[in-house]
Copies of this chain bind each other. A is one copy, B any other.
Amino acid sequence: MRFSTRGRYGLLLMIDLAQNSAQGPVSLKSIAERQNLSEHYLEQIVPDLRKNGLVKSIRGAQGGYILNKSPNEINVGDVIRVLEGPIAPVECENQMDEECCANTDFCINREVWVKVRDSITDVVDSISLADLLQGENKEIMEQ
């Protein structure tokens, strides 16, 4: 029950952009160095962020990536959903809809998974990149 490196690295990448892309495009190489990640692996992750409108790319020398919205308009949930797919603690065909449990008339566990999903969603959708940057300064985020 854990997030993969796609979500984790992607979030680090987005935070790096939030910190560094105000003056101009930031290359994956520099992000990879600062965050101690594989540049090639970031290369595999970042197209999803671009296609979903979270970052913008500038090709060629001195190119790189910049945030496509301001840090307080992007929250952690946006990044995670793009890189890891929908937040769903069990694999139901149609995102945990009523028809998901074909085995039994009524899936007795469904409420558990729905509550878990909703609690995760609440957390990740309530924290923006700006919150994380502010949290860094304060060392401890507000509860």
Interface residues, chain A, with chain B CB atoms under 8 Å away: 1-4, 7-8, 11-12, 15, 35-36, 76, 80, 84-85, 87-91, 103-104, 106, 108-109, 111-113, 115-116, 119-120, 122-124, 127, 132-133, 135-136, 139-141
Contacts and interface: CB of A to CB of B under 8 A. Distances in A.
Question: Copies of this chain, how many?
Answer: 2
B136 A108 contact: yes
A101 to B, nearest CB: 10
Contacts of A36: 103-104
Contacts of A35: 103-104
Contacts of A112: 11, 76, 123-124, 127, 132
B127 A115 contact: yes
Given A122-B119, A124-B112, A84 B139 contact: no
A95 to B, nearest CB: 12
Q: Which of the listed residues A35, A76, A119 has the most CB atoms from chain B within 10 Å of its own CB?
A: A119
